[in-house]
Amino acid sequence: MKGWKVVLVILLVLIADQVLKVSVKTSMYSGEEVSIIGNWFKFHFTENKGMAFGLELGGEMGKLALSLFRILAVIGLGFIINKLIKEKAHWGLVLSVGLILAGALGNIIDSAFYGVIFENSDIFMKNIAKPFPEEGGYAGFLHGNVVDMFYFPLFRFPSWVPWLGNTVFFGPIFNLADVSISSGVFIILLFQKRFFSSVRQRVIDNSIENTTNHGHDI
């Protein structure tokens, strides 16, 4: 039953992530900003070529390497989830790994297909991206950009603060997939003792059961 639950969670995160990204991409210019709650929560449409929260690897080869790494990571996470379910690990641990996998998948879809599907979006040219343009998309397979939109510029440090003057506190722009990955990692770190003691106990119980069964066979 755990398997179906985690698949459902992954699908829900994926659908919500992609609906939001496509909505932003087809209704806003790249670089456009819309206030949601005052000046501290905004939709700021940006496209990043790299990792979560706008971090980047250099050049086209860096972009390709990152896309391939994401794919390998998703495959690895899938095997881990399958193993955790078979070992009857704590549901919270299975769910957390599922959230990480869902977020990674969400960003893979962007980098794999958005460059092929969409045209460029540019605030200066007043061009909103349209899907399936006649002249083709803005990039090849696995070379698309990841769509980000959540922006929480909670406050700006005063100019007199050393090293941080005039910088925005919590300036990264991110998406729902990034939130899913971060949430999964945070939950694992927060409840690691409970999660992994459950796994260790399961291993001990299995070892005792196997030893007992072998003893009966003798």
- Residues known to be catalytic: 148, 178
Prediction pTM value = 0.83
* pLDDT attached to residue 97: 97
pLDDT for res 88: 86
Q: What average pLDDT does the segment 146-152 reach? A: 95
If you average pLDDT over residues 10-39, what whole number do you get?
Answer: 94
Domain edges within the chain: 2-210
Contact (CB, 8 A) for 188 and 81: no
- pLDDT band at residue 8 under the 50/70/90 scheme: very high
Say whether pLDDT at 217 is over 60. Answer: no
Percent of the chain scored above 90 by pLDDT?
55
> CA–CA separation, 185 vs 170, rounded Å?
19
Phi and psi at residue 119, in whole multiples of 5°?
-85, 175
Indicate the range of 14-23, 28-37, 112-121, 192-201 predicted with least confidence: 192-201
Q: pLDDT confidence of 122, banded at 50, 70, 90?
A: confident
